[in-house]
Structure 1
């Protein structure tokens, strides 16, 4: 059984790196993932993944992985996996995205096998 903080850090690092990638070097991102028509949408998804990844990473580093953090990780990974598989299998995006889909399913499996998360009450942000 893995610790929730480990899963949160792992997903946080993965999402932060993959989110930042198109923001810092779009040509290599497109070379690997295929041509894109709306680069603003690629940047939007990149920024969202970066922010969510940073939050997951911070929660894991501070060992403050609550049920909400777990559901953010699971729900986000499930959403990404669905998009990856659905659109790759329908030839909308390159099949390379299915590798990300597998990684997202792996993250979900880690979350499911993780020990119980914290249930802390806090009034501070």
Structure 2
């Protein structure tokens, strides 16, 4: 198990990522015109809104887990961040979506790295003490 300071740092990372997911998820739901202006035209705005609501749901779960000092949802964190990162990269490289999505890809990559460092350190510590 992680010590209190390690969990505190990771909890802060989850709090930031949760807020990021909520803000970016609600943006197209609350103001689709500004979202389209920043990210480019969309054919199926209902799908953009659905992805936004799913991101918001993930973000809320991260925030609640962090604030309540509950067990952090590491599997959800990895899979969500990797999913957004992969889609951002594939569809920016194919020219389907705007290069502005590379900002999101960078945020997802940083989050993945923070969580990875935490998990690796936790495993190394368990190996030394086990």
- TM-score range normalised by the length of the shorter chain: 0.7 to 0.9
Match for residue 28 of structure 1 among 30, 34, 45: 34
Structure 1: how far apart are the matches of 2:78 and 2:9? 15
Normalized per residue, the structure richer in helix is: 2
Please, which runs of 5 or more residues in structure 2 have no aligned partner? 1-5, 123-130
Higher CA-based Rg: 2
State the Cα distance separating 1:65 from its structure 2 match. 2.7
How do 1:1-125 residues align onto structure 2 when only pairs under 5 Å count? 3-66=9-72, 69-114=73-118, 116=122
Partner of 1:121: none
Say how many residue pairs are matched.
114
Structure 2: how far apart are the matches of 1:40 and 1:14? 21
Provide the aligned C-alpha RMSD in A: 1.4
Partner of 1:123: none
| Superposition misfits of 4+ residues, deviation over 3 angstroms | none
Q: RCO higher in 1 or 2 (8 Å CA, sep ≥ 6)? A: 1
State the Cα distance separating 1:113 from its structure 2 match. 2.0
